[in-house]
């Protein structure tokens, strides 16, 4: 018996669940909610746990609903055709039941432990992602710009779950930096998978601009992200010298490294490296805010 004739092992229930809920992406959203909570509370307490569980459950529910919505398009792309729904491992009905359970559990936890405001923000995140951004992706290559509101909402969920006000300037700048960051982050990702997106019928920037033009746009948005990050100490989102040092170092490093995107012959490897670097920048912002809030100056 050859290797090609061997049966493909069926994935475990856990791996299917993690894939269906896009667990890694959902956890990343939860990290920004934790940052918002700690930034307002200036520390950690037991209530942080319920805020994070509620946020994670809603993020996973939204991811499952997205996979239900895009199952036919996922089946057309090599990168996504093995996902649980298009591959036939999970039926759309079963996925919908899981989504409803996760969403109900997430809303219930946020409402019982943290009140209506973070719960309403969680609902807004799901409506915006699944009801607005997901269908808009099929119509416009620029859908990520309004869609990036999704990146701004988890910090607000964490902030308000800790008792903070939506009108606080420190929260506004925290949300704004993750809103703007989301755009170059997605454009780099879309460049890496442009062929698959086009096969599935998604409008892409590569149909409108050349790759060098897209990279220049990405560099410009990245500089905007760095500029907004510099506002964090000014608006009180960070206060200590350690955080300011981390932000300054990360900003200089990112802009310096991203200069290579202006080269007309940037390779896929360069774009992939830039994608990782902009993620590191976002992580550094979260670390700087948390370290500052915990009093490590």
Q: How far is CA 124 from the centre of its chain?
A: 15
Task: Give percent of the chain above pLDDT 90.
Answer: 77
Q: What is the CATH number of the domain that holds 281?
A: 1.20.120
* Count of H-run helices and E-run strands, the chain: 14, 0
Please tell me whether residues 149 and 270 are part of one structural domain. Answer: no
Q: Assign 289 a pLDDT band (cuts: 50, 70, 90).
A: very high
Q: Where does a domain end: 116, 144, 162?
A: 162
Please tell me whether residues 64 and 128 are part of one structural domain. Answer: yes
231 membership: H or E segment, kind and range:
none
Q: What is the pLDDT of residue 177?
A: 96
| Model confidence, pTM | 0.92
Cβ neighbours of residue 37 under 8 Å, at least 6 residues apart? Answer: 48, 51, 52, 158, 159, 161, 162
Q: pLDDT tens, 121-135?
A: 999 999 999 999 999
Q: What is the pLDDT of residue 184?
A: 95
Distance (Å, whole) CA 247 – CA 241: 10
Distance (Å, whole) CA 180 – CA 225: 6
Distance (Å, whole) CA 195 – CA 206: 9
- Return the CA Rg of the chain: 20
Distance (Å, whole) CA 69 – CA 66: 5
Q: What is the pLDDT of residue 16?
A: 93
Q: What is the pLDDT of residue 7?
A: 52
Q: pLDDT tens, 48-92?
A: 999 999 999 999 999 999 999 999 988 888 888 899 999 999 999
Q: Where does a domain end: 162, 184, 200?
A: 162
Report if residue 3 sits inside a domain.
Answer: no
Q: What is the pLDDT of residue 64?
A: 97
* pLDDT-wise least confident of 133-142, 258-267, 279-288: 258-267
Q: How many domains does the chain fold into? A: 2
Report if residue 6 sits inside a domain.
Answer: no
Q: What is the pLDDT of residue 79?
A: 85
Please tell me whether residues 158 and 32 are part of one structural domain. Answer: yes
Q: How many residues does the chain have?
A: 297
Which structural domain, as residue segments, surrounds residue 232? 167-297
Please tell me whether residues 156 and 39 are part of one structural domain. Answer: yes
């Amino acid at each position: 018996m050859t290797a090609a004739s061997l049966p493909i092992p069926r994935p475990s229930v856990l791996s299917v669940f993690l894939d269906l809920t896009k667990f890694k992406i959902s956890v990343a959203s939860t990290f920004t909610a934790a940052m918002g909570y700690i930034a307002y509370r200036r520390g950690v307490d037991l209530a942080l746990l319920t805020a994070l569980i509620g946020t994670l459950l809603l993020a996973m529910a939204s991811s499952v609903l997205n996979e239900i919505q895009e199952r036919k398009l996922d089946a057309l792309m090599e990168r996504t055709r093995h996902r649980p729904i298009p591959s036939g491992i999970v039926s759309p009905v079963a996925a919908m039941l899981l989504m409803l359970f996760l969403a109900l559990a997430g809303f219930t936890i946020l409402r019982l432990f943290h009140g209506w405001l973070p719960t309403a923000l969680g609902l807004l995140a799901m409506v915006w992602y699944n009801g607005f951004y997901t269908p808009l992706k099929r119509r416009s290559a620029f859908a990520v710009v309004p869609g990036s509101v999704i990146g701004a909402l988890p910090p607000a969920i964490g902030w308000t779950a800790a008792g903070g006000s939506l009108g606080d300037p420190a929260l506004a700048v925290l949300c704004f930096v993750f809103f703007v960051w989301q755009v170059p982050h997605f454009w780099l990702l879309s460049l890496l998978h442009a062929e698959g997106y086009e096969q599935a019928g998604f409008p892409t920037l590569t149909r409108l601009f050349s790759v060098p033009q897209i990279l220049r746009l990405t560099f410009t948005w990245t500089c905007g992200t760095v500029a907004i990050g510099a506002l964090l100490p000014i608006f009180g989102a960070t206060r200590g010298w350690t955080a300011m040092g981390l932000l300054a170092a990360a900003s200089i490093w990112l802009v310096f490294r991203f200069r290579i995107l202006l080269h007309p012959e940037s390779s896929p490897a360069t774009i992939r490296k830039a994608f990782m670097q902009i993620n590191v920048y976002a992580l550094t912002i979260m670390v700087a805010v948390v370290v500052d809030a915990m009093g490590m100056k």
